[in-house]
Amino acid sequence: MSVKVNLHRSLASLTNGQTVVEVNGNTVGQCLEQLVSRFPRLKKRLFEKDGTLSRILEIYVNGESAYPDELATAVKDGDELDTVVLISGG
């Protein structure tokens, strides 16, 4: 099952410049874990120390927010995940 992950540009430095990566998985969590297995430096940006999704990251599946059960959200062949990094300023 192939799922396309569209990474926020701020993460490209951790993926050798790639902003689109194909992964396999049945849930958002499995897809992100596979992404981390290919690009280990992503782990600290995608996940909190307790394994939950980073508080500064929002995940969309086919344009729809995966909140509140992001990691458990089911995906299927051909789906697209978008990662959005939440940035605050003042």
- With a threshold of 0.75, does the pTM exceed it? yes
Q: Which residues of 37-56 are buried (b: 16+ CB within 10 A; e: fewer)?
A: eebeebbebbbeeeeebbee
Of the candidates 83, 74, 77, the residue with the CA atom closest to the CA atom of residue 42: 83
Of the candidates 72, 70, 49, 48, the residue with the CA atom closest to the CA atom of residue 58: 70
Taking only the tens place, the pLDDT of each residue in 22-71 is: 999 999 999 999 999 999 999 999 999 999 999 999 999 999 999 999 99
Q: For the chain, what are the domain ranges?
A: 3-85
What residues have CB less than 8 Å from 89, skipping those under 6 apart? none
Q: What distance in Å separates the CA atoms of residue 89 and residue 27, rounded to the nearest whole number?
A: 32
Selecting from 3.30.460.10, 3.10.105.10, 3.10.20.30, 2.40.50.140, what CATH number does the domain 3-85 have? 3.10.20.30
